């Protein structure tokens, strides 16, 4: 099993445990095909560190609508580099019909942070292994304390 798939499998199991292990939970997962990967840089405003971010263009390759997607990625040959696990799905809030292609734009929210740019060095997009898993379940972000109301 390749590294991104192993990470993604772990994230999917955690997501299923949080959402509840109803018998139809696995049936709500659907295929995501990574069409291409674009690399971007993101500077953490708190630390000033510059990170490499893998930004996917992906396709709903399943048979049902997708409402959320979790991505995982790693750099080939960079065993020390590990992506930062997301706290929420990188894609949510819209319905993606089967066959539809989506291009990620918001850095780093829509992508996977691969690691600090200084540690990774130069990376070619073809050296990034990326995978994703989609779900037909609607993701609702947690409410921030002190919100309107």
pTM exceeds 0.85: no
Q: Which residue has the tokens 């708190």?
A: 46
d(CA 23, CA 107): 35
Say if residue 24's pLDDT is above 70: no
pLDDT of residue 23: 44
Kindly state the average pLDDT of the residues 5-9.
55
Give the mean pLDDT of the chain: 82
Question: In angstroms, what CA-CA distances link 101 with 47, 61, 74, 76, 133?
Answer: 34, 9, 22, 25, 14
Interior angle at CA 133, CA 137 and CA 81, nearest 5: 135
């Amino acid at each position: 099993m390749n590294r991104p798939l192993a990470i993604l499998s772990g994230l999917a199991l955690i997501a299923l445990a949080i959402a509840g292990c109803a018998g139809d939970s696995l049936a709500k997962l659907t295929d995501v095909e990574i069409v291409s990967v674009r690399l971007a840089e993101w500077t953490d405003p708190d630390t000033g560190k510059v990170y490499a971010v893998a930004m996917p263009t992906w396709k709903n390759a399943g048979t049902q609508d997708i409402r959320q997607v979790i991505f995982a990625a790693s750099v080939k040959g960079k065993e020390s580099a590990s992506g930062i696990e997301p706290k929420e799905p990188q894609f949510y809030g819209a319905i993606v019909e089967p066959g539809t292609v989506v291009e990620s734009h918001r850095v780093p929210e829509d992508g996977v942070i691969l690691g600090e740019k200084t540690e990774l060095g130069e990376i070619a997009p073809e050296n990034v292994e990326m995978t994703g898993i989609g779900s037909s379940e609607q993701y609702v972000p947690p409410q921030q304390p002190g919100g309107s109301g």
